[in-house]
């Protein structure tokens, strides 16, 4: 007899169906414990290749490997019970050809049990997106500022701020939607362009620095919690976790130095021992008397 989970995890079609119904809530997540917390409030969680910057201190997302994404993807899937979990395909694992992209994306899905992958790039990813979707792999698109292309873009630069840039970005969105992407991330694009794309395509747009005109929003969790030292302009800090962590560590260090930690309540006392039994005595045997002769 098979047992089914009490709560069904959201899938790619569920996210698509939210367009024009409700705002879609999403965050990045890289750990089991943060995934379990965010799962209560988010429709999908993204295991973003931003982990390279916020967890490993890389300057860009380019050095992130497939193995890194799989390890953190497993952790997030274990923590989330309801939200769809999507995983970024890292730089160099999908651009070569649709078949290479399928091989790597299939590995990610099989080894993490995630519900989708995300690819950066517009028109150039149309064929690959269609190829993956036709073979059973849900794809989330990502256009506008695409961090994996940072060395070509010349920095983390916003997109679509002049109208002569609009047509190309609109075409990117249209091609991905027609190729079967179930949602498209719009990063750092101007609000009027985000609204235009959101109105034009049939799948949800997920904004990150693209205004409330999008169908949903996503932020890097460490950024919005106030844990990252430097954040983009579009981030609102909803917490001050870095300060809270430093306060806790400072207090811990002080308690260790003055020996007030660990206190008695933080230690394991001795177990009561049973009273010691008296030593056993052996019966006294009388030596036979010698007979005199």
Domain boundaries, the chain: 12-245
Specify the pLDDT at position 276. Answer: 75
Specify the pLDDT at position 289. Answer: 60
pLDDT band at 23 (very low <50, low <70, confident <90, very high): very high
Q: Is the pLDDT of residue 66 over 90?
A: yes
Q: Give, as one character, the DSSP assignment of residue 189.
A: B
Q: Which CATH architecture has domain 12-245?
A: Alpha-Beta Barrel (3.20)
Please provide the DSSP assignment of 78-116 as one string. HH-SSSEEEEEPPTTSSSS-HHHHHHHHHHHHHHH--SE
**Greatest mean pLDDT among 110-124, 155-169, 278-292:** 110-124
Specify the pLDDT at position 2. Answer: 52
Q: Which residues contact 192 (CB under 8 A, 6 or more apart)?
A: 213
Specify the pLDDT at position 44. Answer: 98
Q: How many CB atoms lie within 10 A of CB 263?
A: 9
Q: Backbone phi, then psi, for 240, in 5-degree steps? A: -130, 55
pLDDT band at 282 (very low <50, low <70, confident <90, very high): low
- Exposed, middle or buried: residue 78 (CB in 10 Å: 0-12, 13-18, 19+)? middle
pLDDT band at 8 (very low <50, low <70, confident <90, very high): confident
Buried residues in 115-131 as b, exposed as e (16+ CB within 10 A): bbbbbbbbeebbebbbb
Tell me the pLDDT of the chain averaged across its residues: 92
**Greatest mean pLDDT among 139-143, 148-152, 265-269, 288-292:** 139-143
User: Mean of the pLDDT values across residues 33-39?
Assistant: 98
> How much of the chain, in percent, has pLDDT values that exceed 90?
81
Which tokens hold the place of 162? Answer: 């002049």
- The set of catalytic residues is 187
Q: Is the pLDDT of residue 293 over 70?
A: no
Specify the pLDDT at position 6. Answer: 55
More confidently predicted of 286 and 158:
158
More confidently predicted of 33 and 152:
33
User: Mean of the pLDDT values across residues 179-185?
Assistant: 98
């Amino acid at each position: 007899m098979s047992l089914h989970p009490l709560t069904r995890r959201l899938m790619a079609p569920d996210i698509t169906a939210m367009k024009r119904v409700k705002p879609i809530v999403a965050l990045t997540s890289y750990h089991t414990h943060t995934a379990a917390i965010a799962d209560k409030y988010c429709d999908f969680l993204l295991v973003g290749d931003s982990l390279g910057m916020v967890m490993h201190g890389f300057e860009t997302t380019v050095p992130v490997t497939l193995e890194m994404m799989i390890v953190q993807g497993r952790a997030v899937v274990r923590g989330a019970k309801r939200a769809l979990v999507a995983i970024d395909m890292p730089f160099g694992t999908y651009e070569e050809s649709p078949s290479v992209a399928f091989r790597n994306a299939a590995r990610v899905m099989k080894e993490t049990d995630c519900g989708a992958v995300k690819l950066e790039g517009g028109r150039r990813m149309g064929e690959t997106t269609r190829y993956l979707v036709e073979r059973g792999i849900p794809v989330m698109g990502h256009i506008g500022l695409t961090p994996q292309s940072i060395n070509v873009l010349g920095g983390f630069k916003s997109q679509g701020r002049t109208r002569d840039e609009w047509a190309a970005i609109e075409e990117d969105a249209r091609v991905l939607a027609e190729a079967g992407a179930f949602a498209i991330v719009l990063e750092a694009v101007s609000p009027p362009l985000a609204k235009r794309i959101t109105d034009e395509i049939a799948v949800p747009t997920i904004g990150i620095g693209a205004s409330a005109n999008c169908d949903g929003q996503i932020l890097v969790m460490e950024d919005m919690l106030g844990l990252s030292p430097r954040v983009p302009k579009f981030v609102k800090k909803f917490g001050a976790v870095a300060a809270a962590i430093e306060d806790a560590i400072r207090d811990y260090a002080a308690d260790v130095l003055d020996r007030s930690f660990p206190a008695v309540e933080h230690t394991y006392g001795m177990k009561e021992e049973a009273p010691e039994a008296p030593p056993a005595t052996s019966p006294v045997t009388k030596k036979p008397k010698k007979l005199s002769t």
